[in-house]
Amino acid sequence: MAADAQFARMNGLGNMILVVDMRGRDDAVTPAAAVALNGDPATRFDQIMAVHDPRIDGTDAFIDILNCDGSRAQACGNGTRCVVQALAAETDKQAFTFQTVAGILNAVEHSDGTISVDMGKPVFEWNRIPLAEEFFDTSRIELQIGPIDAPVLHSPAVLSMGNPHAIFWVDRDPMGLDLDRFGPLLENHPIFPEKANITLAQVTSNTSMTTRTWERGAGLTLACGSAACAAAVSGARTGRTGREVTVTVASSPGRGTLRIEWRDDDHVIMTGPAEWEWSGTLDPATGVFRRDDGGASAL
């Protein structure tokens, strides 16, 4: 029987992350293990970042990303920062290149402890996001929640940041809107054949905005890095902001902000913090875990 894997409980702006060290192993964290881990209050998470041996030359690791419902995700910016912090502490390296199912990610830890991740290029073509029907202009599509003559949310910008996003613009604090009710309906709307991350975004200046996200496969989350990138790109694309903004996550006050730059070469750079909480070992097949300080799984 394979030995348990080391893991760390971390967070990126409150986005709950489990970084699992699967290097040197042939197995994987199973969907059943993910569901079991999420079911224990001690290990409840938004994403698991399972770090495997590199599969292609020139990369430091392959990252398998799982949501709390056991489904697999293509991208997780906040989780990538957590992986960088964990590996930087282990190796004394500052720059890393990762492979994910969405492509290659480059990341670097700065001297102040913040971490920048190159999230790649946004995708605007309707069939690559993907959408179920053609829209010539994906900066504003026909989709709304609420009465036809007085919708609560409407006309989102849609794009992919390695995973599909819909950004709804609001003119008040996103915490004042019932995203836990609207989120599941919009995530599973037929227009999104692979579901979508749903974000409410309030522009507060040419260089700042506030967001709140219902995350595909995870539900309401304290933070979502790829959603912050999608909102920042959409703000610039629609003329609401410039190409560099500070994003405050409404559901995670006091944990800092994300700085998003949509560079002239079309790459989106996300910079923000990561935080280690505690570590332990777990069975990747079942999710049974033990904390290094002696705490055990409730399973």
Span 50-106, pLDDT tens digits: 999 999 999 999 999 999 999 998 888 999 999 999 999 998 899 999 999 988 999
What are the counts of helices (DSSP H) followed by strands (DSSP E) for the chain?
4, 20
pLDDT at 296 over 90: no
Which residues are marked as active site?
76, 224
Sign of the Cα pseudo-torsion (188, 231, 160, 141, in order): positive
Look at residue 298 in the predicted model and tell me its pLDDT: 46
Stated pTM of the model: 0.91
**Using CB atoms within 10 A of its CB, is residue 85 exposed (0-12), middle (13-18) or buried (19+)?**
buried
Residue 193 and residue 152: Cα distance in Å, rounded? 23
DSSP state of 217: T
Q: What CATH architecture applies to the domain 144-266?
A: Roll (3.10)
Look at residue 295 in the predicted model and tell me its pLDDT: 64
Span 104-153, pLDDT tens digits: 999 999 999 999 999 999 999 999 999 999 999 999 999 999 888 889 89
User: Which CATH superfamily includes the segment(s) 5-119+275-291?
Assistant: Diaminopimelate Epimerase; Chain A, domain 1 (3.10.310.10)
Sign of the Cα pseudo-torsion (181, 137, 223, 67, in order): positive
Quote the percentage of the chain above a pLDDT of 90. Answer: 84
Residue span(s) of the chain under CATH 3.10.310.10 come to 5-119+275-291, 144-266
